[in-house]
Amino acid sequence: MRIQKILVTGANGQLGWALSQAAKVTPNFEYIFLDRHAMDLSIPSELERIVELFAPSAIINAAAYTAVDKAETETKLAHTINAEAVAEFASIAKNKNIPFITYSTDYVFSGNATSPYTTDTPLAPINFYGQTKADGELMALAVNPDAIIIRTSWVFSSHGNNFVKTMIRLMKERDSLNIVGDQKGRPTYAKDLAFASIQVLNAINAGATIKGIYHYANAGETTWFDFAQKIKELAGLDCQLTAINSDQFPTPAKRPAYSVLDTQKIEKELNLHIPHWELALSDCILQLKNN
C-alpha cells in the first residue's frame, strides 16, 4: 500500500511541531496531527478506535513521556506511554499492514562505552526513563518486526522545552552558570530529525525495505558544557560558564556519561547527509531570534 495519509501523535512536542513545519514543504503527503487531548497515550486501549477514525496509511508516534527525573517516581505513567502505548501502535500498524515509526533514546545504553553505540549494542539503561524506552522497543518489535524505531539524543528546537532555550533564558537572567562537562553525546535538531523521518516514508514509497532500529543525531559529538558555550557564542550572550562534574549536579535519575550514537546505518540506507550540530544550532538560534 502506498503511503499517502500520515497520522502524527504528539503534535505539540518538539518533534511533532517540527514535523508540522516540515509538512508545509512536503506536500506529497496528507498529515493528521493529534495532540495529547485528541490522542492520549496514557490510555492505550483507546488508540485503535482513534486510528480507525482517521484511517491513515502510516503512523508516526512523536509523543512520549520525556520527564527523565519524574519518571523515577511516575513509573506507571512513564511505562504506559513509552512502552505499552508504543506496543499497541505497533500491533495496530501490523494488523493494518501500514508503516509505523516511533522514537527511542540514547538513554537505553549504560553510558560506559568509549566509542559510538551501534544499533545492535546491547541495551543496559541506568534510569527508569531509559528502561521504559528500552521496553517500548522490545515490546513493539515483538508484536511487529516491521516497526521502525529511531533512537535519538539531546533533542533541541526553537519550540517547546529544551536545553538550548533553557540556556538562553538562564544566561539572560544570571551572571554565571555551572554546566556539566563530563557527559558526552550528539545533539539532535528536531527539524533535521523530522525531515529524516519523512525521507524514511519516501524511501518506503520508492520500494525500499526499512524496518527495525536506526540511530539519528546531528553530526559531531560534544559535552553539555561545550554545547552551552556554543549557544552563548551564537546567541551573543555574556554569562560566565564553568564546567562541573556530574557528581556536583546530582539528579533523581542517573545520566549516562557517554551516549554518542553511531548513525552510519540510516545515512547509508537513506543516502542521508546529516548536518553538523553546530550548523543546526545556528539555524535554531536564528529561528528563535526571528520569533
Q: Which of 103, 107, 117, 129 is catalytic?
A: 129
8 A C-beta contact, residue 34 and residue 19? no
Q: Which residues are paired to 178 by β-bridges? A: 242
The pLDDT of 158-183, averaged and rounded, is 97
Burial of 120 (0-12, 13-18, 19+ CB in 10 A): exposed
Q: Is 117 a catalytic residue?
A: no
H/E stretch holding 52: helix 47-54
Question: Could you give the domains of the chain?
Answer: 5-161+186-219+259-275 (3.40.50.720)
pLDDT reading at 236 higher than 90: yes
pLDDT score for 163 = 98
8 A C-beta contact, residue 63 and residue 12? no
Burial of 271 (0-12, 13-18, 19+ CB in 10 A): exposed
Report how far apart the first and last C-alpha atoms of the chain are (Å, whole number).
40
Model pTM? 0.97
pLDDT (tens digit per residue) in 17-38: 999 999 999 878 999 999 999 9
The pLDDT of 148-164, averaged and rounded, is 97
